[in-house]
Structure 1
Amino acid sequence: MTNSCLSCHYCRESLFGERILRDDNPYCLQCYHRLFVNICEDCKQAIAWDGKDLEYKDHHWHEACFKCATCACSLSEKPFAVKDELLMCTECYSNKYSSKCYTCKKTIMPGARKMKFKGNSWHESCFTCLCCQQPIGTKPFIPKDKENYCVSCFEREHDSQCQSCKKAITSGGVTYRNQPWHEECFLCASCKKQLAGQQFTSRDEVPHCLDCFSSLYCKKCEACSKPITGLGGAKYISFENRQWHSECFTCRRCNISLVGQGFLTHKDNILCPACGRDEV
C-alpha cells in the first residue's frame, strides 16, 4: 500500500483511524466534513456524513427536518409541494392554495386535471351538463343561469322548435301566430316558395304567397279578369255578385270612370248614363 493511500487526499495527514472514500480518494473525517457535507435548509446545521441527506432542487435537509411547514408532518415518504420556498404536504397546500370545485366543493389537488370558466374551477369529472350529466370536457357548451349545458341538451331544453321540422332554432327564425319557424321552413302552403321577408296572407291560418292566395281564393275582376285581393287597402266595386277593381269600373263604351257616379246596365255591360241612353 502506498503512502498516498494512508494519508488524507486533502490535508495529507496520516489516516490510521476512520476514513471516508470519495471518488476513490481517502479523506479524514474532518476534511470530508468541511469539504463535502451539506447544510440543512431548515436547521442550518451540517448533515453528518453518516446521516440521511434528503435533496430537492439542490437543497438539502436532515430527514427529521424534511417536514411540512404548516402541520410539521414528515415528508420523507409523502408527496409534497413547494410554495414560496416552503415545503408543504399536499393536504396543507391544497387547503391553503388549491382551487375548490364549484360543484362538489372539494379541493382540486395539485396536478389533477381541472376545468376553469369565468373564475370558477371544477374537477374534470364534475364539469358536467346539467341535463344529461355527462362530462363536458373540451366539447362546446352553453352556460345559462349559472349552469352549463352541452349543445344538444341546450337546444332541446331551451331553444325554440320549428313548427315545421321540429328541430331547434338556434338563430334567426320567423314567428307566425306566436309559433316559431326556421326561415327556410316558413313556406307558402301551395307553391312552397319561402315567405320570410316577403308579403303573404293566410286563409284558415295557413300561409300563402300573394300569387297563390289570389289564384285560389280571390274573385276576378269583371273587366280585366285579374284577382281582386283587397290587400293594402285597395278599393273595389261590387254589384250584383260581380266585382271590379276601382280603376276597372268604367263605361263599357267610352271608358269613363264610373266610381262614385251613376250608371246603367245593358245586358252584362256597365254604361255611363249618356251611353246607356244611346243603347236604349
Structure 2
Amino acid sequence: MASHRHSGPSSYKVGTMAEKFDCHYCRDPLQGKKYVQKDGHHCCLKCFDKFCANTCVECRKPIGADSKEVHYKNRFWHDTCFRCAKCLHPLANETFVAKDNKILCNKCTTREDSPKCKGCFKAIVAGDQNVEYKGTVWHKDCFTCSNCKQVIGTGSFFPKGEDFYCVTCHETKFAKHCVKCNKGLVKAPVWWPMKDNPGTTTASTAKNAP
C-alpha cells in the first residue's frame, strides 16, 4: 500500500493592508489591519473564517487564516488535527497511508495488515515469535495448554477439538492406561519449530514428532 504526502496549503495571502480597501463581505475598512486575499478578493479575518475558511474534518472548526492547513483529496485539517486515526501520532510533516477513509501512520498500517493472534487477537508484527497450526497463528506466549495454562512454546502438544494440551495434561486427562503396568498409552504428539515472524507470513508448519 502506497504512502502519501499531504498537499500544501490552499492559495491565499495574509498580510497587513497598506492601501484603502474595504472588506469584500462586511465592507469594513481594511487599511492598517490584517487581511486575507483569496480568489482576487480582500476580506477581514472574521469574514474569512465565516465565508472562506475550510472546515477541519477532525475538529469541525474553521481553519483560520493564521492556522496551518493540511489537505488531501479535497479534505482539510488543521496541521495539529492531522494525526493517525489509531495512535494519534502527528502526521503533518510525515508520510501516511489512506485506508478505508482513515489516515494512518506507516507503523499502524503494518499492524492493521498483519495476521491476528488467535489467543489475544492482537497483530503479529515483524520480530514477534509465533507458531502456526492448521492455518491459525498465535504469539508464542499465547499458545498455552488448555488445562494447566502453561506456555507450550516449542514443546509437543495434543490437539483435541478446539483445545490444545501439553503432553503431561493430555496423559492425565485422556490417555488409556495399560491394565498390567498402569502406564499411559500415549500416541505420538504434534510438534513444530517456532519461528520469528518475517512480517508478511507465518511459516511455521506442524509436523508429527519422530
TM-score, normalisation: structure 2: 0.47
Structure with bigger helix share is 1
**Bigger relative contact order, structure 1 or 2, given CA contacts below 8 A and separation 6+?**
2
TM-score normalised by length of structure 1: 0.37
